Amino acid sequence: MAKVRTTTSKVDGFRMPGEHEPQEAVWIAWPERPDSWRWGAKPAQSAFVEVAKVIAEETQVNMIVSAGQYDNARQQLPPHIRVVEMSTNDSWMRDMGPSYVVNDEGERRGVDWQFNAWGGLLDGLYFPWDADDAIARKVCEFHGDDSYRAPLVLEGGSIHVDGEGTAFTTEECLLDPSRNPDLSKADIEQYLKDYLNVDKVIWLPHGLYNDIDTNGHVDNLMHVARPGEVVLSWCDDPEDPQYAISREALAVLDNTTDAKGRKLKIYKLPVPGPLYIRDDEADGFDVCEGMERSSGVRLAGSYANFLITNRRIVFPLLCEKRDAEAQAMLQDIFPGYDIVGVPAREILLGGGNIHCITQQVPAL
């Protein structure tokens, strides 16, 4: 029977594996919230189905679905994708799901962070968020895995790890007063070390330009390809605000070493667009105080928001002018992997992308 542990990953000898390590399953949560997703989430559901199908060719996909949407989801998804009924407030699985940790004896546990909808009552996107906050524990119980309830408000998209002792995050997100206002940067870093079992945290100043829903999650700015190698969202237009953010991040990454003392190899992956919400795309959303979905708003589009799952890279198709270039670059970065693009603008309109809607479970 799955238990909630009162110790930490570090004390118990568990570490968070890198996304490049073998996976047993990937979890996704079915979209239906009408203020997050336009036209009752029907276009988003179609996009989620295509993402799930591509992942399921390589890795078992478990789709979380509410009771009211169960039959609809089951009909749209192929039989080999498992549909699991659970209650949610929305569908950002990366942020509400467990961050899994493993040990050398083949055991697996989940880190259950505190979730407050990206800012709680100060800056959150919606209320309530209690169903989302319960998802990590439920996923762990589904797999029969013990979990740790970490005393830290944190979303999974705000961290990346290399599996060998290094974590990456942004000051913009983790130091935002809407997360853990009573904790210092040193306090937060210690919690990351304790619950991810890492030795070094590399802090980037900012996330991707205008990634306001998440307060600048690191997974929209960069990705860890493998230990010692990272993919960074890059912009060559000096007039674009992303230009300075990319160079600021590069300066940090280029002037540090990872937990093993390696100098990082940095791949510059161009950002799409810039992309903006079109007039027709601003229609169909229910009114919500926490989310801005107006025509002309700059979208936080990024090719770095991809998923590594076993021998496959699933990345978002976002821009006809740049999609092929992004795919070719990812193929160079990940030799031996299938690089599969999925149309993902509907997911982006909701405020994130493929990495944001997925959460992997490491293989035992």
Q: What are the residue numbers of the active site?
A: 356
Distances from the Cα of 161 to the Cαs of 42, 96, 157, 170, 172, in angstroms? 34, 17, 11, 13, 18
Sequence-separated (6 or more) residues with CB below 8 Å from residue 239: none
Contact 31, 350 (CB under 8 A): yes
Across 319-344, b (16+ Cβ under 10 Å) vs e yields beebbeebbebbeebbeebebbbbeb
Contact 224, 204 (CB under 8 A): no
- For residue 168, which phi and psi values (nearest 5 degrees)? -125, 140
How do strand 359-362 and strand 23-29 relate by DSSP bridges? antiparallel
Continuous segment of H or E residues that includes residue 150? strand 146-153
Q: If you ran DSSP here, which 8-state letter would residue 39 be given?
A: G
Q: Helix or strand or coil: residue 138? A: helix
Contact 225, 330 (CB under 8 A): no
Cα–Cα distance between 140 and 147 in angstroms, integer?
A: 7
